[in-house]
Amino acid sequence: METLATETEVTSMPRIGDEAPKFKAVTTQGDINFPDDYKGEWVILFSHPADFTPVCTSEFITFANLESKFNKANCKLVGLSIDGLYSHIAWLRTIKDKIEFNGMKNVEVKFPLIEDISMEIAKKYGMLQPGESKTQAVRAVFFIDPKSTVRAIIYYPLSLGRNFDEIYRALIAMQTADAFNVATPADWNPGDDVIVSPAGSCGVAEERMTNTDELDCKDWFFCTKKLDKDEILKKVLKS
């Protein structure tokens, strides 16, 4: 008996721990070869649904206003939508010349905004979610580390503007985890206690419970320690 194959649209996406998919693209700041051009730096690659839309406009103003803060944390910003280059240029000029948001105005977007008319890059990164839209990228955020590894992914629907405090917090938390070999608990911010990896043996577990000089252990598997905010920022931020 012959069965009929049903054609389905598959939306793939890189996973945490994968190498960031490679691509070459035209942007508002010239051509880029991604992620090779950013080796040795963190990158936040993010998509937006469309130019000349209000939520996206509020986000680009906010990201542009925070760009120097991200750069100081050794992190570059790269935006993407499936609009063309000339649309991007016109929209960014309009943002600078006409739009004010949350007290921010005359904001110039200096980070690259990728042209992706073919949707090839958006498909590589799973930015197209057919249940949400087949013609617009959702608000995806990819954190890519200096070794070009995808470290974190956040997705938002078309209607929801991103929380930029959380994006920055997540970046600093991952950098802190790398630099000090720790983990960060819920709602962590620099200066809060950090998590020490669970004990790998009975001897270590007992030692942790009896040695309270450095660690605060609620039980053998749940130990925290102080990590000075200035020490963190000195390590992860550019001077």
Instruction: Give the Cβ contact number of residue 231 at 10 Å.
Output: 15
The answer to the question of whether 139 is labelled as a binding residue is yes
Class of residue 221 by CB neighbours under 10 A (exposed 0-12, middle 13-18, buried 19+): exposed
In DSSP terms, 222 is beta-bridged to: 219
Q: Which residues are catalytic?
A: 56
- 103, 111, 47, 61: CA torsion to nearest 10: 10
Instruction: Give the Cβ contact number of residue 130 at 10 Å.
Output: 11
Backbone angles phi, psi at 46, to 5 degrees: -135, 150
* Contact assessment for residue 90 and residue 144, using Cβ atoms and an 8 Å cutoff: no
* Contact assessment for residue 76 and residue 44, using Cβ atoms and an 8 Å cutoff: yes
What single-letter amino acid sits at 114? Answer: I
- b/e string for 171-197 if b means 16 or more Cβ within 10 A? bbbbbbbeebebebeeebebebbbbbe
- For the chain, the straight-line distance linking the first and the last C-alpha, in angstroms and rounded, comes to 70
Binding-site residue numbers for substrate are 139
Binding-site residue numbers are 139
